[in-house]
Amino acid sequence: MSDSELDATVLAALKEVLLKKRGEILVTTTGTRPLPASADVNSRQGDLADQASGNNEVHIQLKLKQTDAKILQAIEEALVRMEKGTYGICRDCGEPIARARLEAIPWTRVCISCKQKQNT
């Protein structure tokens, strides 16, 4: 058995990681946050400095959500590939993805050499 081989135990462990990560993202992106008390909202009106920092915070949260959405999509695809038995195969070159890479990023679609080609 080679180090890059994905046996049922490894696959099950990676699936656990994928499901856990998916759960974390779903809580982060769809979790309800308590609405601020109306008195707090009123006191903020007209305070430009406070509003500016508030807007900035919203902007950062939107960026985070975009990243989360991408990961979520990749996780869903990875779970589908596990069902089909094609998980761990590079989307671009069809070679097996190194096990260490899958353990680091279980939702990755491509092997490290294809990823590096994308970046150049």
Question: Can you give the binding site for Zn ion, defined by CB under 5 A?
Answer: 90, 92-93, 111, 114
Q: How far is CA 46 from the centre of its chain?
A: 38
CA distance 3 to 53: 49
75 or 111: CB nearest Zn ion:
111
55 or 116: CB nearest Zn ion:
116
102 or 114: CB nearest Zn ion:
114
30 or 119: CB nearest Zn ion:
119
Q: 5 and 99 in contact (C-beta within 8 Å)? A: yes
Q: Return the percent helix, strand and coil in the chain, to nearest 5.
A: 70, 0, 30
Residue 68 beta carbon to Zn ion: minimum distance, rounded to whole angstroms = 25
Residue 98 beta carbon to Zn ion: minimum distance, rounded to whole angstroms = 10
Residue 40 beta carbon to Zn ion: minimum distance, rounded to whole angstroms = 52
Residue 48 belongs to what H/E stretch? helix 48-84
- Rg of the Cα trace of the chain? 20
Residue 45 beta carbon to Zn ion: minimum distance, rounded to whole angstroms = 54
